[in-house]
Chain A
């Protein structure tokens, strides 16, 4: 029974973590959006042509440089990065939870999932 209570506590903390992640990233996307529309709102959209490799703000350093110079689109991308980070944070949280329960099998499984995601985040441009 004690284990069930502990599971519930972890669950509640996780709920808060997810909610905060979504709220914070939405606010950041909103701020970036207002700046972007203020500067570029009158221009003509070009989403029907794919720019791919030539598009801006695709890597972490680019996004940070863009945010530092107040670029609206870079701020939106930062918000999106935070959003992607939210489920990743949840996985990290789960590793801690399983460690606390001394569940070695699931600590291992969760670390494996984390490794897959981090590998894709780090090598995404190359594969």
Chain B
């Protein structure tokens, strides 16, 4: 195989990954890394570097559309970014010492967790009666526009959410993914934020979190230009196509099928990690 044909294969695969990632809301990284490592035999470290760069591209691209709508809670995102960026730097630091087969095992577990999360029905959170004093102090309570007018909301359990974001940051830095599922979990289930706000705010944070570890990976030689080029352009193109298709297709069924595909990939990843083949 030549570099040219290899590049074309990776580009097409990344296009599909970006498309599915955007349609299902799981993000491209979860498909890119297994595709590169399991199917094409790319070293895990190069796959992490390429995925991280693609994550920044899709997050920035999608965020461009969101910030205009005024749903993103900028203060909340910025406050929690203290946790995710510190976590991301720690994760990238840990990556040097953790063997790739252990990273593959952690990756498999997070993959299963995210797939299960994506299957769960989103129910509107009950709003806490009173805001926590800390969220009052940090001006985290806000409101968002909806078809029924402006809806105010409170943020609860700030400390718990912050701690969860630290974990999300570490995993993002260690695995080269956006770990959007963990971020949404922290905001939906712990901080009780309406999911319209949590989804866009999580996306706002993903790019910044990934940028914190991408610089470290670049200088360590994990970011290979020959690999990043087709991955980034493919995922970005796929995400754009996905956002157009999103308005036209029913994603419920797709989400379900995709979750099972992800679980199958995760088991393959776990098997390879446990038997030390990766």
Contacts and interface: CB of A to CB of B under 8 A. Distances in A.
Contact of A116 (B64, B85, B230): B85
B277 to A, nearest CB: 13
Interface of A: 4, 7-8, 11-12, 14-16, 18-19, 21-22, 25-26, 29-30, 32-33, 36-37, 40-45, 47-55, 57-59, 72-74, 76-77, 80-81, 83-88, 90-91, 94, 103, 105-106, 109-110, 112-113, 116-117, 119-121, 124-125, 127
Contact of B68 (A11, A21, A29, A124): A11
Given A77-B225, A86-B207, A58 B46 contact: no
Given A57-B225, A76-B225, A41 B219 contact: no
B233 A33 contact: yes
B214 interface: yes
Interface residues of B, number: 66
B220 A124 contact: yes
A54 B222 CA distance: 11
A18 B56 contact: no
Contact of A59 (B53, B57, B219, B230): B219
Interface stretch (B3-11, B18-26, B243-251, B255-263): B3-11
Contacts of A84: 53, 56, 211, 214-215, 218
9 contacts: A11-B70, A22-B236, A77-B225, A81-B218, A83-B60, A84-B53, A84-B56, A86-B60, A120-B213
A80 B232 contact: yes
A32 B60 contact: no
A42 B2 contact: yes
Contact of A18 (B61, B138, B210): B61
Contact of B63 (A4, A18, A48, A125): A18
Most buried by B among A15, A30, A49: A15
B155 interface: no
B17 interface: no
B196 interface: no
Given A7-B70, A53-B221, A127-B93, A33 B229 contact: yes
